[in-house]
Amino acid sequence: MSETNSIRNVSDTARWVAIYRAMESERPDAIFRDPYARRLGGERGGAIVRELPDGTAMSWPLVVRTAVMDEIVLRCVGNGARTVLNLAAGLDARPFRMDLPSDLRWLHVDMPEMVDYFREQMAGETPRCRLEYRAADLRDAGVRREILADASREGPVLAITEGLLIYLQADDVAALARDLNDVAHARWWLSDLASPMLLNRLEKTWSPAVRAGNAPFVFGPREGTAFFEPHGWRESEFHSHWDESIRLNRTMPHMWFYELVMALMPAAKRDQAKRMSGMMLLRSDH
């Protein structure tokens, strides 16, 4: 990638993903509509997609992630969530584009410059729910716990960390897991989860670009969702990118070849491959 258009930091990845949401929204058969995504991604987001290896062709996992998480958010809200705590929210326009209860509390939390950019781009738009912004560096444990304690005032709480965990060290993920359980008292935690297998595959595609922008892919626990159990969380649902891409008809390029390979695998290895990446919904023990 050129020096001009390379990913500079983790915040730039939000612009990149916004363009994928825009690409999907502009399809006649779109599985979700985000009318703000093209504006939010901007020219920089478009440049990143153009210059990433297979940038356009590889939109499918992030499109699938958005669609599946939309479904889970609506289901958790229907099951009683009163506060949504969206950490590292980036350019997530769900409070504006989804059919949410007007009395739902939604906390949009990110770095100050990212919150400022999002608010500037969304000026004049009306959220569907009670949207509150929190500008904060979540690496500061004291600041993080203050925000999580504030979220706990109106429970049950659904925490979202879409696109965040893969950039964190395991110790930082564990600390966040404990704080979401002990401080936010969150009932649900919605996130995407990578595996060592996925991290290895990304080395051939996106990893060099994000590493150059000081945003390396790091977290992909060998134990999968069991990583979170010592910190008060258990798997409630796991939606593999593989299965959901087939359900939503947003499969990877050359899918026929991978389907053949999967069909030839022993059942245990096939199940392991399906959990290479996906979306998890965790439930707290309390």
Alpha helices in the chain (DSSP H): 10-25, 37-51, 60-78, 94-97, 112-121, 141-151, 170-182, 196-202, 207-212, 241-248, 255-264, 267-274
Task: Give the pLDDT confidence score for residue 2 in this predicted structure.
Answer: 41
34 token code pair? 């985000």
DSSP states of 43-93: HHHHHHHHHSTTTTGGGHHHHHHHHHHHHHHHHHHHTT--EEEEET-TT--
Domains, the chain: 58-284 (3.40.50.150)
> What confidence tens digit (pLDDT) does each residue in 162-188 have?
999 999 999 999 999 999 999 999 999
Give the predicted TM-score (pTM) of the model: 0.93
Task: Give the pLDDT confidence score for residue 210 in this predicted structure.
Answer: 72
Average pLDDT, the chain: 92
Q: Are 280 and 191 in contact (CB under 8 A)?
A: yes
> What confidence tens digit (pLDDT) does each residue in 132-164 have?
999 999 999 999 999 999 999 999 999 999 999
Neighbours of 44 (CB within 10 A): 16
DSSP states of 103-124: T-EEEEEE-HHHHHHHHHHTTT
Tell me what the mean pLDDT of segment 20-33 comes to: 97
CA torsion 119-125-130-135 (nearest 10°) is 0
Q: pLDDT at residue 51 above 80? A: yes
Sheet holding 157-161, edge to edge: 130-135, 105-110, 83-87, 157-161, 188-194, 277-284, 233-240
> Confidence band (pLDDT; 50, 70, 90) for 3?
very low
**Which H helix or E strand runs over 27?**
none
Residue with tokens 């989860």: 193
Task: Give the pLDDT confidence score for residue 212 in this predicted structure.
Answer: 66
Query: How far apart, in whole angstroms, are the C-alpha atoms of residue 36 and residue 46?
Result: 14
Neighbours of 114 (CB within 10 A): 21
Task: Give the pLDDT confidence score for residue 176 in this predicted structure.
Answer: 98
> Confidence band (pLDDT; 50, 70, 90) for 12?
confident
Query: How far apart, in whole angstroms, are the C-alpha atoms of residue 120 and residue 135?
Result: 14
Q: At what angle do helices 10-25 and 112-121 cross, to 10 degrees?
A: 30
177 token code pair? 């897991």
For residue 249, give the 3-state DSSP assignment. Answer: coil
Tell me what the mean pLDDT of segment 257-273 comes to: 85
Q: Are 276 and 195 in contact (CB under 8 A)?
A: yes
> Confidence band (pLDDT; 50, 70, 90) for 229?
very high
Q: Which of 47-56, 89-98, 169-178 has the lowest mean pLDDT?
A: 47-56
